[in-house]
Amino acid sequence: MGLTLQFVPYFEIEKLSSLGRIRKLLNAVKEGNIVLLEGRLTKEEEAELIKTTMEEINSDFKGIELAVIYPESHNVDFFKKMKQQLFNAILGDRQGLTILGPASIVKEIKKDPNKIQLFTSDPKSSGRRKKKRRG
């Protein structure tokens, strides 16, 4: 079985409302795609995405797996942090990468700050396959 990775550049969601962003991502996932979004949603949008996912769960759609890789900012100095926040306020939060996929295909996403492991369900065997990405 092949996997489809759909890349969504930030400019495609930039002008959308929160609801529009969630709808776009969820529609792509419900079509069976693993979505790679440039940047990330706001924390409130992430919570709303989980809420909407729960509302739509049925016998065909079991939910999503979600992970965000974001550059660590604890060790960044104050001026660099301010510069980044200003940049984000003007251009949107394009930093990092959001990965989401249907729970029926993506069994688990494990992550530490700079590495993501994506385990997919294999319908032909009970084992699991592993894809790695290093940030």
Partner 1 sequence: MIKLVKKFMKKVFRDLFRKRKSLKLGLYGPPNGGKTTLANRICLDWLGEEMGSVSNIEHETREVQIKEKITVKKGSNELSFSLVDTPGIATRIDYEDFLKKGLKEAEAKKRAKEATKGVIDAIKWLDNMDVVIVVLDSTKDPYSQVNITIIGNLAARDIPVLIVANKTDMKKSSVKKIKSAFPQYEVIGLSAKKGTNSEEFYEALFAIAG
Return residues touching partner 1 (CB under 8 A).
42-44, 46-47, 50-51, 53-55, 57, 62-68, 74, 103, 109-113
- Shortest distance in whole angstroms from residue 46 CB to partner 1: 4
- Shortest distance in whole angstroms from residue 64 CB to partner 1: 5
In contact, 121 and 104? CB cutoff 8 Å: yes
Strand-pairing partners, residue 97, are 38, 69
Task: Specify the 3-state DSSP secondary structure of 91.
Answer: helix
- Shortest distance in whole angstroms from residue 12 CB to partner 1: 21
Query: What phi and psi values does residue 129 have, to the nearest 5 degrees?
Result: -100, 160
- CA atoms 80, 85, 86, 87: torsion sign: positive
- Shortest distance in whole angstroms from residue 1 CB to partner 1: 19
User: Which is closer to partner 1, CB of 19 or CB of 47?
Assistant: 47
User: Which is closer to partner 1, CB of 46 or CB of 133?
Assistant: 46
- Between CA 57 and CA 54 the distance in angstroms is 5
User: Which is closer to partner 1, CB of 11 or CB of 128?
Assistant: 128
User: Which is closer to partner 1, CB of 11 or CB of 62?
Assistant: 62
- Shortest distance in whole angstroms from residue 106 CB to partner 1: 9
Task: Specify the 3-state DSSP secondary structure of 29.
Answer: helix
User: Which is closer to partner 1, CB of 2 or CB of 55?
Assistant: 55
Angle at the Cα of 13 (from 71 to 8), degrees rounded to 5? Answer: 70
